[in-house]
Amino acid sequence: MTSSNGGFAELKFRDPARARALSATLERLLGEIGRAPVSVMHVCGSHEQAIAKFGLRAALPRALNVIMGPGCPVCITDVPEVDEGVALARQGVRIATYGDMVKVPGTVLSLADVQAEGGKVDVVYSVAQAVELARTIAEPLVFFATGFETTAVATAAAVLQNPPPNLFVLSAHKYIPPVMEIVAEMPDTRVEGFLAAGHAATITGWGVFEPFVERHKLPVVVAGFEPLDILAGLVKLVELIGAGTASVENMYPRCVTKEGNLRAQEQLWNVFRPIGGRWRGIAHVPNGNLRLRDEWAHLDARKQFDIDVNSLWDSAPPTLIQDCICGDIMAGIKSPTDCALFGEQCVPHSPVGACMVSSEGTCKIWHQYGGHPDLGGYGGAVCAR
Ligand code: SF4
C-alpha cells in the first residue's frame, strides 16, 4: 500500500503494540467463553495472505481456530469450467485470462499445457487489457472471466462499454454470499461466525449479510486487510460469539457502507444473472455462479462457439486429483497438512489441486510461508516484534 503521507497510514494499521493489545483482548474474550476451540471462517484469499504474511496465526490464541473458507477464486473455479477454456484453446480459439488460471488443472490439461502444445493463451492482468488486446487483433478473443463479485464488476463494466466485436466472454465468475449459506448448512461445520471480505463488501455493502445472519443466527464481521483490521475484526467476532449475538458488524467503515456501491451493483446485475452451479470441491451452490444475461448472448462464448469438452472427458487418464482434499480444506473441515500430497507430489511448480496454484490458495500460502499455521518464526510477524 502506498500513501501520500509517506506510508504512515500503512504503519498505523501495522502497529505491533496495538496488535499485541488486540491479541491479548482475544485471549481474554476466549477465556471468558471458556471452551476451545472457537472456530471462525474467513472467505477471502486476501485475508489468508495477510494472516500468513504478517505471521498473525502465531499471535492468535490457541483457543481460536481461524479457518480459510472457499475464498480463493481460482481454487473454486470448477473443473468443467477450466475444461471449457481448454477445449476452446485446443479448437484454435485465442484465450485471454488471469495468470493464476493458466496453471489450474482441468480434467486432462491446463491452459498452460495447451499453450505448450502451441495453443494461443494470453495472460492479462485485467479485463481492460483483454479489451485492448482484442482491438489489436482480427481473430476472435475469448476472455475467460474468473473471480468473485469484485472482478465480475470489472467484466460487467467492460461489457457495457461497447467492447470490440471480436471479444467474447466465458464467464466463470462466482458470487460469495450464497456459498456462505452452504458452509453454514454443512452437517460437519464447526464455523461459529464469519469474517467477511472488505473489498467485496465495498461493492455489495455490509447489508447483504443481514438475511444470512437472520437465517443462520451466526455473526458476520466485515474486515479489511491490514493486520490490525483482521485482528480487530476477530476481536469483534469473538465478542459477538461470546455474547451469543448474531448480527453484522462493519469493522472496515473507511471503505464499506451498508448499501455498498450502488452503481457497481447496477452494472453487475445488468450484465450477469446468478445461477446454480458447482464450485470446485465444495458443492452445487444455488445462485453461486454468474452467467451473462440473454441480452449479452452475442458476447457469450458458450452461445457463440461449439465447445467440445466431451473429447477431453473421454480421454481422461488417471491422476492424483482424486486424493486432493481441497474441498474439505475450503469447507473448513481439514487443513493442507492433512493432505498426503502436500509438499510432496503437490507443490506450487507442479500442483495437483487448484488450492496449490493460486497465490490466494490455502495450500500454496501454507507452502510459501512454512507449511504450518504456527508461523512465529516468520520475520514479518507483526506481533512477534
Ligand atoms: Fe489438493 Fe494439493 Fe492441497 Fe492436497 S496439497 S489438498 S492435492 S491442492
pLDDT in tens, 58-97: 888 989 999 888 888 888 899 899 999 999 999 999 999 9
Domain shared by 152 and 238, yes or no? yes
User: Per the domain annotation, does 356 fall within a domain?
Assistant: yes
Q: What is the pLDDT of residue 264?
A: 97
Nearest residue by C-alpha to atom 3 in ligand 1: 363
Q: What is the pLDDT of residue 379?
A: 32
Beta strand 272-279 with 283-292 is antiparallel
**Final residue in a domain of this structure, among 294, 314, 334:** 314
pLDDT digits (tens, 9 = 90+) for 85-95: 999 999 999 99
User: Per the domain annotation, does 163 fall within a domain?
Assistant: yes
Say whether pLDDT at 359 is over 90: no
Distance between CA 190 and CA 331 in Å, rounded? 10
| Residue whose grid cell is 471503505 | 255
Q: List CB contacts of 179: < 8 A, sequence separation 6 or more.
A: 43, 69, 70, 76, 279, 282, 285, 288
Expressed in angstroms and rounded, the spacing between residue 355 Cα and the centre of ligand 1 is 6
- Nearest alpha-carbon partner for 276 in 294, 288, 293: 288
Identify the three-state secondary structure at position 12. helix
Is the shortest distance between the CB of 68 and ligand 1 below 6 Å?
no
Pure H helices in the chain: 8-12, 16-33, 45-53, 56-59, 73-76, 79-90, 99-102, 111-116, 127-136, 149-160, 176-185, 198-204, 210-216, 227-243, 262-271, 301-304, 310-314, 326-330, 362-368
Nearest residue by C-alpha to atom 5 in ligand 1: 342
Q: What is the pLDDT of residue 146?
A: 96
Expressed in angstroms and rounded, the spacing between residue 110 Cα and the centre of ligand 1 is 16
Contact indicator for 278, 78 with CB cutoff of 8 Å: yes
User: Per the domain annotation, does 6 fall within a domain?
Assistant: yes
Is the shortest distance between the CB of 339 and ligand 1 below 6 Å?
yes
Alpha carbon distances (Å) from 177 to 209, 268, 349: 7, 15, 32
Alpha carbon distances (Å) from 219 to 213, 214, 231, 238: 6, 9, 16, 9
Expressed in angstroms and rounded, the spacing between residue 371 Cα and the centre of ligand 1 is 12
* Domain encompassing residue 93: 1-314
Expressed in angstroms and rounded, the spacing between residue 354 Cα and the centre of ligand 1 is 7
Q: What is the pLDDT of residue 291?
A: 98
Distance between CA 259 and CA 250 in Å, rounded? 12
Q: What is the pLDDT of residue 317?
A: 63
**Final residue in a domain of this structure, among 249, 282, 314:** 314
User: Per the domain annotation, does 384 fall within a domain?
Assistant: no
The length of the chain, given as a count of residues: 385
- As a whole number, the mean pLDDT across the chain is 89
Q: How many CB atoms lie within 10 A of CB 320?
A: 13
Expressed in angstroms and rounded, the spacing between residue 275 Cα and the centre of ligand 1 is 28
Count of domains observed in the chain: 2
Overall average pLDDT of the 357-381 stretch? 64
- Ligand 1: which of 104, 280, 324, 345 to mutate, judged by most atoms within 8 Å of the beta carbon? 324
Say whether pLDDT at 170 is over 50: yes
Domain shared by 293 and 362, yes or no? no
Domain shared by 28 and 142, yes or no? yes
Say whether pLDDT at 282 is over 90: no
User: Apex CA 184: angle with CA 181 and CA 187, to 5°?
Assistant: 125
Q: 86 is written with which cell numbers?
A: 481448454
Domain shared by 237 and 261, yes or no? yes
Expressed in angstroms and rounded, the spacing between residue 19 Cα and the centre of ligand 1 is 32
Q: What is the pLDDT of residue 10?
A: 58
Domain shared by 287 and 338, yes or no? no
Q: Which of residues 331 and 112 earns the better pLDDT score?
A: 112
User: What is the number of the ligand 1 atom nearest to the C-alpha of 353?
Assistant: 8
End-to-end CA distance of the chain: 21
Is the shortest distance between the CB of 88 and ligand 1 below 6 Å?
no
Say whether pLDDT at 382 is over 90: no
Is the shortest distance between the CB of 346 and ligand 1 below 6 Å?
yes
Overall average pLDDT of the 122-151 stretch? 97
Is the shortest distance between the CB of 309 and ligand 1 below 6 Å?
no
Domain shared by 261 and 355, yes or no? no
Identify the three-state secondary structure at position 103. coil
Q: Which of residues 253 and 381 earns the better pLDDT score?
A: 253
User: Per the domain annotation, does 166 fall within a domain?
Assistant: yes
Say whether pLDDT at 31 is over 50: yes
Task: Give yes or no for a cis peptide into 37 (omega within 30° of 0).
Answer: yes
Domain shared by 150 and 288, yes or no? yes
Domain shared by 204 and 336, yes or no? no
- Nearest alpha-carbon partner for 116 in 130, 106, 137, 102: 102
Expressed in angstroms and rounded, the spacing between residue 342 Cα and the centre of ligand 1 is 6
Distance between CA 258 and CA 86 in Å, rounded? 40
CATH at residue 56:
3.40.50.11740
Overall average pLDDT of the 306-329 stretch? 80
- Nearest alpha-carbon partner for 361 in 37, 44, 51, 139: 44
User: Per the domain annotation, does 104 fall within a domain?
Assistant: yes
Domain shared by 246 and 160, yes or no? yes
Say whether pLDDT at 257 is over 90: yes
Distance between CA 206 and CA 382 in Å, rounded? 28
Domain shared by 325 and 200, yes or no? no
Domain shared by 196 and 326, yes or no? no
User: Per the domain annotation, does 213 fall within a domain?
Assistant: yes
Is the shortest distance between the CB of 336 and ligand 1 below 6 Å?
yes
Domain shared by 204 and 234, yes or no? yes
Q: Which of residues 89 and 379 earns the better pLDDT score?
A: 89
Beta strand 248-250 with 272-279 is unpaired
Q: What is the pLDDT of residue 351?
A: 85
Contact indicator for 138, 120 with CB cutoff of 8 Å: no
Say whether pLDDT at 331 is over 80: no
Burial zone of 276 (CB within 10 Å; 0-12 exposed, 13-18 middle, 19+ buried): exposed
Q: What is the pLDDT of residue 16?
A: 86
Q: List CB contacts of 230: < 8 A, sequence separation 6 or more.
A: 47, 50, 51, 56, 195, 223, 224
Identify the three-state secondary structure at position 326. helix
Expressed in angstroms and rounded, the spacing between residue 218 Cα and the centre of ligand 1 is 29
Is the shortest distance between the CB of 72 and ligand 1 below 6 Å?
no
Say whether pLDDT at 298 is over 50: yes
User: What is the number of the ligand 1 atom nearest to the C-alpha of 340?
Assistant: 4
- Ligand 1: which of 323, 363, 364 to mutate, judged by most atoms within 8 Å of the beta carbon? 363
Burial zone of 44 (CB within 10 Å; 0-12 exposed, 13-18 middle, 19+ buried): buried
User: Per the domain annotation, does 174 fall within a domain?
Assistant: yes
Say whether pLDDT at 141 is over 90: yes
Expressed in angstroms and rounded, the spacing between residue 323 Cα and the centre of ligand 1 is 8
Say whether pLDDT at 4 is over 80: no
Overall average pLDDT of the 45-56 stretch? 86
